[in-house]
Structure 1
Protein backbone atom coordinates (compact mmCIF):
# COMPACT_ATOMS: atom_id res chain seq x y z
CA UNK A 1 0.00 0.00 0.00
CA UNK A 2 1.19 3.47 -0.73
CA UNK A 3 2.49 5.40 2.25
CA UNK A 4 0.94 8.72 1.22
CA UNK A 5 -2.63 7.49 1.74
CA UNK A 6 -4.36 6.77 5.04
CA UNK A 7 -6.29 3.53 5.17
CA UNK A 8 -8.75 2.43 7.80
CA UNK A 9 -7.67 -0.49 10.00
CA UNK A 10 -10.21 -2.68 8.18
CA UNK A 11 -8.73 -1.92 4.75
CA UNK A 12 -5.20 -2.39 6.11
CA UNK A 13 -6.19 -5.81 7.48
CA UNK A 14 -7.78 -6.82 4.17
CA UNK A 15 -4.68 -5.69 2.28
CA UNK A 16 -2.40 -7.63 4.63
CA UNK A 17 -4.59 -10.73 4.32
CA UNK A 18 -4.55 -10.46 0.52
CA UNK A 19 -0.75 -10.65 0.71
CA UNK A 20 -0.93 -13.69 3.00
CA UNK A 21 0.15 -11.73 6.08
CA UNK A 22 -1.55 -12.42 9.38
CA UNK A 23 -3.17 -15.70 8.41
CA UNK A 24 -0.98 -17.75 10.73
CA UNK A 25 -2.07 -15.66 13.72
CA UNK A 26 -5.78 -16.46 13.32
CA UNK A 27 -6.50 -18.94 16.11
CA UNK A 28 -10.29 -18.85 16.04
CA UNK A 29 -13.09 -17.41 13.97
CA UNK A 30 -13.57 -13.73 14.58
CA UNK A 31 -16.84 -12.40 15.94
CA UNK A 32 -19.17 -11.02 13.29
CA UNK A 33 -18.17 -7.48 12.31
CA UNK A 34 -21.56 -6.14 13.36
CA UNK A 35 -20.77 -6.92 17.02
CA UNK A 36 -17.52 -4.97 16.69
CA UNK A 37 -19.37 -2.10 15.04
CA UNK A 38 -22.05 -2.02 17.73
CA UNK A 39 -19.57 -2.08 20.60
CA UNK A 40 -17.40 0.56 18.94
CA UNK A 41 -20.48 2.72 18.36
CA UNK A 42 -21.43 2.31 22.02
CA UNK A 43 -17.95 3.27 23.21
CA UNK A 44 -17.12 6.10 20.82
CA UNK A 45 -20.43 7.65 19.88
CA UNK A 46 -23.60 8.45 21.77
CA UNK A 47 -23.84 5.87 24.53
CA UNK A 48 -20.24 6.02 25.78
CA UNK A 49 -20.41 9.80 25.84
CA UNK A 50 -23.60 9.73 27.91
CA UNK A 51 -21.95 7.42 30.46
CA UNK A 52 -18.96 9.79 30.73
CA UNK A 53 -21.30 12.77 31.04
CA UNK A 54 -23.22 11.12 33.90
CA UNK A 55 -19.95 10.35 35.71
CA UNK A 56 -18.51 13.84 35.18
CA UNK A 57 -21.68 15.75 36.09
CA UNK A 58 -23.13 13.58 38.87
CA UNK A 59 -20.11 11.58 40.12
CA UNK A 60 -19.13 7.93 40.30
CA UNK A 61 -21.90 7.02 42.74
CA UNK A 62 -24.51 8.30 40.31
CA UNK A 63 -22.89 6.30 37.55
CA UNK A 64 -23.30 3.19 39.70
CA UNK A 65 -26.98 4.11 40.15
CA UNK A 66 -27.30 4.48 36.38
CA UNK A 67 -25.80 0.99 35.82
CA UNK A 68 -28.36 -0.43 38.27
CA UNK A 69 -31.12 1.38 36.40
CA UNK A 70 -29.80 0.06 33.09
CA UNK A 71 -29.84 -3.50 34.46
CA UNK A 72 -33.43 -2.93 35.59
CA UNK A 73 -34.38 -1.49 32.19
CA UNK A 74 -33.14 -4.53 30.26
CA UNK A 75 -34.17 -7.11 32.88
CA UNK A 76 -37.76 -7.58 31.73
CA UNK A 77 -37.54 -6.88 28.01
CA UNK A 78 -40.75 -6.33 26.10
CA UNK A 79 -42.73 -5.39 29.21
CA UNK A 80 -44.01 -1.95 30.19
CA UNK A 81 -41.25 0.41 31.25
CA UNK A 82 -38.46 -1.83 29.94
CA UNK A 83 -36.47 -2.33 26.75
CA UNK A 84 -38.50 -3.35 23.68
CA UNK A 85 -36.81 -5.36 20.91
CA UNK A 86 -37.02 -3.98 17.39
CA UNK A 87 -37.12 -6.35 14.43
CA UNK A 88 -33.62 -5.15 13.50
CA UNK A 89 -32.29 -5.90 16.98
CA UNK A 90 -33.80 -9.41 16.92
CA UNK A 91 -32.12 -10.04 13.55
CA UNK A 92 -28.78 -8.64 14.77
CA UNK A 93 -28.93 -10.81 17.90
CA UNK A 94 -29.42 -13.93 15.76
CA UNK A 95 -26.55 -13.01 13.45
CA UNK A 96 -24.15 -12.19 16.28
CA UNK A 97 -25.20 -15.22 18.33
CA UNK A 98 -24.49 -17.56 15.40
CA UNK A 99 -21.20 -15.85 14.52
CA UNK A 100 -19.89 -15.73 18.08
CA UNK A 101 -20.41 -19.31 19.21
CA UNK A 102 -17.40 -20.43 21.18
CA UNK A 103 -16.11 -16.89 21.76
CA UNK A 104 -14.96 -16.13 25.30
CA UNK A 105 -16.54 -12.68 25.81
CA UNK A 106 -14.19 -11.72 28.64
CA UNK A 107 -11.22 -12.52 26.38
CA UNK A 108 -12.91 -10.57 23.58
CA UNK A 109 -13.17 -7.52 25.86
CA UNK A 110 -9.50 -7.84 26.88
CA UNK A 111 -8.51 -7.92 23.21
CA UNK A 112 -10.77 -4.94 22.55
CA UNK A 113 -9.06 -3.02 25.35
CA UNK A 114 -5.67 -3.71 23.74
CA UNK A 115 -7.01 -2.70 20.31
CA UNK A 116 -8.41 0.59 21.64
CA UNK A 117 -5.01 1.44 23.15
CA UNK A 118 -3.30 0.66 19.82
CA UNK A 119 -5.82 2.82 17.95
CA UNK A 120 -5.21 5.77 20.26
CA UNK A 121 -1.42 5.39 19.90
CA UNK A 122 -1.77 5.29 16.09
CA UNK A 123 -3.96 8.41 16.10
CA UNK A 124 -1.36 10.26 18.15
CA UNK A 125 1.38 9.18 15.75
CA UNK A 126 -0.65 10.53 12.82
CA UNK A 127 -1.44 13.74 14.71
CA UNK A 128 -5.17 13.14 14.93
Structure 2
Protein backbone atom coordinates (compact mmCIF):
# COMPACT_ATOMS: atom_id res chain seq x y z
CA UNK A 1 0.00 0.00 0.00
CA UNK A 2 1.23 3.48 -0.86
CA UNK A 3 1.60 6.12 1.82
CA UNK A 4 -1.02 8.84 1.50
CA UNK A 5 -0.02 12.37 2.47
CA UNK A 6 -2.96 14.56 3.48
CA UNK A 7 -2.05 18.21 3.78
CA UNK A 8 -5.60 19.03 4.90
CA UNK A 9 -7.53 22.20 4.17
CA UNK A 10 -5.01 24.67 2.82
CA UNK A 11 -7.25 27.47 1.58
CA UNK A 12 -10.78 28.80 1.48
CA UNK A 13 -12.55 31.00 -1.06
CA UNK A 14 -16.07 32.36 -0.61
CA UNK A 15 -17.01 29.49 1.66
CA UNK A 16 -15.48 26.69 -0.43
CA UNK A 17 -12.68 24.79 1.26
CA UNK A 18 -9.83 23.13 -0.62
CA UNK A 19 -7.54 20.36 0.58
CA UNK A 20 -4.75 18.54 -1.21
CA UNK A 21 -3.46 15.00 -0.80
CA UNK A 22 -1.18 12.73 -2.73
CA UNK A 23 0.93 9.62 -2.79
CA UNK A 24 3.53 7.81 -4.85
CA UNK A 25 1.85 5.43 -7.32
CA UNK A 26 2.96 3.06 -10.09
CA UNK A 27 -0.30 1.58 -11.41
CA UNK A 28 -3.99 2.40 -11.75
CA UNK A 29 -4.58 -0.08 -8.92
CA UNK A 30 -2.33 2.07 -6.71
CA UNK A 31 -4.34 5.18 -7.68
CA UNK A 32 -7.60 3.42 -6.79
CA UNK A 33 -6.14 2.30 -3.44
CA UNK A 34 -5.10 5.89 -2.63
CA UNK A 35 -8.56 7.20 -3.50
CA UNK A 36 -10.17 4.49 -1.40
CA UNK A 37 -7.87 5.32 1.52
CA UNK A 38 -8.66 9.04 1.20
CA UNK A 39 -12.41 8.43 1.04
CA UNK A 40 -12.26 6.18 4.09
CA UNK A 41 -12.25 9.51 5.93
CA UNK A 42 -15.92 10.56 6.00
CA UNK A 43 -15.08 14.22 5.45
CA UNK A 44 -13.35 13.40 2.16
CA UNK A 45 -16.03 10.88 1.16
CA UNK A 46 -18.66 13.62 1.56
CA UNK A 47 -16.66 16.28 -0.29
CA UNK A 48 -18.26 17.89 -3.32
CA UNK A 49 -15.29 17.00 -5.56
CA UNK A 50 -12.16 14.84 -5.30
CA UNK A 51 -10.38 15.70 -8.56
CA UNK A 52 -7.08 14.00 -9.31
CA UNK A 53 -4.35 13.32 -11.84
CA UNK A 54 -1.30 11.06 -12.11
CA UNK A 55 1.43 10.32 -14.62
CA UNK A 56 2.13 6.58 -14.69
CA UNK A 57 4.54 4.53 -16.82
CA UNK A 58 1.47 3.52 -18.86
CA UNK A 59 0.41 7.14 -19.43
CA UNK A 60 -1.41 10.03 -17.83
CA UNK A 61 -4.70 9.62 -15.98
CA UNK A 62 -7.09 12.25 -14.61
CA UNK A 63 -10.61 12.59 -13.26
CA UNK A 64 -12.69 15.71 -12.71
CA UNK A 65 -15.23 14.19 -10.28
CA UNK A 66 -17.79 16.76 -11.42
CA UNK A 67 -15.40 19.76 -11.36
CA UNK A 68 -15.10 20.07 -15.13
CA UNK A 69 -11.52 20.71 -16.28
CA UNK A 70 -9.91 20.46 -12.84
CA UNK A 71 -8.19 17.13 -13.55
CA UNK A 72 -6.45 18.65 -16.58
CA UNK A 73 -5.22 21.58 -14.46
CA UNK A 74 -3.58 19.14 -12.03
CA UNK A 75 -2.17 17.02 -14.86
CA UNK A 76 -0.58 20.00 -16.63
CA UNK A 77 1.09 21.07 -13.40
CA UNK A 78 2.44 17.55 -12.82
CA UNK A 79 3.81 17.51 -16.36
CA UNK A 80 5.47 20.92 -15.95
CA UNK A 81 7.01 19.89 -12.63
CA UNK A 82 8.16 16.56 -14.08
CA UNK A 83 6.48 14.68 -11.24
CA UNK A 84 5.80 11.18 -12.51
CA UNK A 85 4.62 8.38 -10.27
CA UNK A 86 2.47 10.49 -7.93
CA UNK A 87 -1.27 10.96 -7.73
CA UNK A 88 -2.40 14.40 -6.57
CA UNK A 89 -5.95 14.80 -5.30
CA UNK A 90 -7.53 18.23 -4.84
CA UNK A 91 -10.64 18.06 -2.67
CA UNK A 92 -13.30 20.77 -2.64
CA UNK A 93 -16.16 21.25 -0.25
CA UNK A 94 -18.56 23.63 -2.03
CA UNK A 95 -19.37 26.69 0.05
CA UNK A 96 -22.53 27.88 -1.70
CA UNK A 97 -21.07 30.49 -4.06
CA UNK A 98 -19.87 29.79 -7.58
CA UNK A 99 -16.24 30.72 -8.11
CA UNK A 100 -16.23 30.82 -11.90
CA UNK A 101 -12.70 30.75 -13.32
CA UNK A 102 -11.25 31.32 -9.86
CA UNK A 103 -11.90 27.65 -9.10
CA UNK A 104 -9.03 26.76 -11.45
CA UNK A 105 -6.73 29.13 -9.58
CA UNK A 106 -7.66 27.42 -6.32
CA UNK A 107 -6.91 23.99 -7.87
CA UNK A 108 -3.55 25.38 -9.01
CA UNK A 109 -2.84 26.78 -5.53
CA UNK A 110 -3.64 23.43 -3.91
CA UNK A 111 -1.56 21.47 -6.43
CA UNK A 112 1.36 23.87 -6.00
CA UNK A 113 1.22 23.28 -2.23
CA UNK A 114 1.62 19.53 -2.79
CA UNK A 115 4.41 20.00 -5.33
CA UNK A 116 6.26 22.24 -2.87
CA UNK A 117 5.73 19.66 -0.12
CA UNK A 118 7.39 16.89 -2.17
CA UNK A 119 10.12 19.19 -3.48
CA UNK A 120 8.85 19.39 -7.05
CA UNK A 121 7.65 22.99 -6.94
CA UNK A 122 7.36 24.95 -10.14
TM-score range, shorter chain: 0.3 to 0.5
TM-score with structure 2 setting the length: 0.33
TM-score (norm. length: structure 1): 0.32
Structure with a larger share of its residues in helix: 1
* Larger RCO, structure (CA 8 Å, separation 6 or more): 2
If you compute each CA radius of gyration, which structure gives the higher value, 1 or 2?
Answer: 1
Q: Counting strand residues as a fraction of each chain, which structure ranks higher?
A: 2
